[in-house]
């Protein structure tokens, strides 16, 4: 089960000095079982399922909810695609298993609390939380297809993607046979999806047994969910036909626009911070704009444009940025301290570059924050500081009088070169 097709079709990357790094998008991602529950509320056909937290819960659910089922589907719940082809660090192959009813408890126990590695998690993998195993009825599927709705920047509206083939190899299929991918765009957000639009999607899915009119209604319900819940992506892989001629969402991946959190409180209450980058979780609590990357030079900058320029020049100087961090124009000393805590929590960081051009943000506030951070955080890596702008003299005096072993820089070129030298020497 993968989300890679959408990533390929609407990819966003961060280009730094000619080298592309994947940008981490800021949007709420929910677990499959949560997505399935939401789809069900909108009248979308989904398999009967229940989430379990212990092997004992699994046993009870198997005996009560699925007493008449000979086989069940056991699905690990992590916020990443590729579970079916993933591998647990314990050695168990696959994060999705179809097993006999008497084997469900055993296989679920081998998943709970274990780390699952997929092509989307990276080698570190993600932990299957102790409350995150999803049991589903095994449906009799006669055909598997692919369906997704995302946002298209070019047309500034929803884009529906459909393919008559679905499953774990959808990315390879999209690359080898692009003509099989049907895109329905643009859809007028004010007018909404029409029967004609929905019919084009169904034609792209090319169902073999499902009723055409019922399938059109299912597509319209999915579009309604996408709009009313402020989704940025809705992906079903596979969307399948059953032997009783129904179109069923056999998977559920949904992302939601963070800007809609104020009006989607119930949905955003589903957030699982244990599946997110802990650095980004801490930054969000401190109201800092932070995106973790994979380099060795930590960056603390004021202003998104200057932060991007700082990352660029680090690359041009031969280094790699460990993060994007914009403290904004009115950061407090406390926020600066929190920023340093986040930067130093990354074991890969070998040096920290502070680049401040004081306009609204005053250099003396940053300087005081750096000094206070040194009192709360053990700075084990070199810190390079470049200050310019409002109250720059006061800021430099604060740093000088602190007695800290800082490396000062006159301009951005000088700062980047010193940061690279300090990190790799």
Residues of each annotated binding site for Mg(2+): 237, 251
Instruction: With beta carbons less than 8 A apart as the criterion, state whether 407 and 418 touch.
Output: yes
Structure tokens at 12: 């966003």
Q: Strand, helix or coil at 128?
A: coil
The DSSP letter of residue 24 is: P
DSSP string over 81-119: S--TT-EETTS-B-SEEEEEGGGHHHHHHHHTT-EEE-T
What is each CA distance from 400 to 110, 149, 161, 381, in whole angstroms? 56, 55, 59, 18
**Alpha carbon distance 382, 49 (integer Å):** 52
Instruction: With beta carbons less than 8 A apart as the criterion, state whether 235 and 161 touch.
Output: no
Instruction: With beta carbons less than 8 A apart as the criterion, state whether 20 and 14 touch.
Output: yes
Active-site entry in 235, 241, 296, 338: 235
Angle between helical axes of 195-205 and 212-228 (0-180°, round to 10): 110
Q: Give me the half-sphere count of Cα atoms (radius 13 Å) on the Cβ side of residue 415.
A: 29
Structure tokens at 32: 């499959």
Please list, in sequence order, all residues whose beta carbon lies within 8 angstroms of the beta carbon of residue 380, skipping any fewer than 6 positions away.
Answer: 344
Token pair 């997704």 is at which residue? 148
Beta bridge partners of 268: none
Q: Could you list the residues known to form a binding site for ATP, using ranges.
A: 75, 82-84, 144
What number of helices (H) and strands (E) belong to the chain?
A: 14, 22
**Alpha carbon distance 103, 111 (integer Å):** 13
**Alpha carbon distance 173, 181 (integer Å):** 9
Active-site entry in 134, 146, 223, 290: 146
Query: Is 235 among the catalytic positions?
Result: yes
**Alpha carbon distance 48, 36 (integer Å):** 9
Q: What are phi and psi of 394, to 5 degrees?
A: -60, -40
**Alpha carbon distance 173, 179 (integer Å):** 10
* Among the listed residues 137, 163, 142, 136, the one whose alpha carbon sits nearest the alpha carbon of residue 240: 142
Query: Is 333 among the catalytic positions?
Result: no
- The C-alpha torsion from 371 through 376 and 381 to 383, rounded to 10°, is -20
Q: Strand, helix or coil at 363?
A: helix
| Residues annotated catalytic, as ranges | 146, 235
């Amino acid at each position: 089960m993968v989300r890679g097709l959408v990533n390929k079709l609407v990819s966003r990357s961060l280009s730094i000095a000619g080298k592309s790094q994947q940008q981490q998008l800021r949007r709420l991602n929910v677990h499959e079982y949560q997505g399935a529950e939401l789809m069900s509320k909108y009248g979308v056909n989904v398999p009967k399922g229940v989430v379990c937290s212990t092997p004992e819960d699994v046993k009870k659910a198997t005996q009560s909810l699925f007493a008449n089922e000979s086989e069940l589907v056991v699905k690990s719940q992590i916020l990443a695609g590729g579970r079916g082809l993933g591998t647990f660090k314990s050695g168990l192959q696959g994060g999705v298993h179809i097993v006999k009813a008497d084997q469900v408890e055993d296989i679920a126990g081998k998943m709970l609390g274990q780390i699952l590695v997929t092509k989307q998690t990276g080698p570190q993998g993600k932990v299957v939380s102790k409350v995150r195993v999803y049991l589903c009825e095994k449906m009799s599927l006669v055909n598997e297809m692919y369906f997704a709705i995302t946002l298209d920047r070019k047309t500034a509206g929803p884009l529906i993607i459909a393919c008559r083939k679905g499953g774990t190899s959808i990315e390879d299929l999209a690359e080898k046979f692009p003509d099989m991918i049907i895109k329905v765009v643009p859809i007028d957000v004010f007018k909404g999806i029409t029967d004609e639009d929905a019919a084009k999607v169904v034609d792209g899915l090319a169902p073999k047994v499902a009723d055409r009119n019922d399938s059109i209604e299912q597509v319209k319900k999915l579009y309604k969910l996408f709009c009313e819940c402020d989704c940025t992506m809705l992906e079903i892989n596979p969307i399948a036909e059953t032997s009783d001629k129904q179109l069923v969402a056999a998977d559920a991946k949904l992302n939601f626009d963070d800007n809609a959190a104020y009006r989607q409180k119930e949905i955003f209450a589903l957030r699982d911070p244990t599946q997110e980058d802990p650095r980004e979780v801490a930054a969000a609590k401190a109201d800092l704009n932070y995106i973790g990357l994979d380099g060795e030079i930590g960056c603390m900058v004021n202003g998104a444009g200057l932060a991007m320029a700082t990352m660029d020049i680090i690359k041009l100087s031969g280094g790699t940025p460990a993060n994007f961090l914009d403290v904004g124009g009115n950061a407090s000393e406390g926020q600066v301290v929190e920023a340093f805590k986040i930067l130093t929590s990354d074991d890969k960081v070998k040096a920290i570059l502070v680049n401040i051009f004081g306009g609204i943000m005053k250099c003396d506030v940053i300087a005081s924050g750096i000094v206070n951070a040194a009192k709360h955080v053990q700075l084990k890596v070199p810190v390079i500081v470049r200050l310019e702008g409002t109250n720059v003299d006061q800021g430099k005096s604060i740093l000088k009088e602190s007695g800290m072993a800082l490396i000062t820089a006159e301009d951005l070129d000088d700062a980047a070169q010193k940061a690279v030298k300090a990190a790799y020497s």
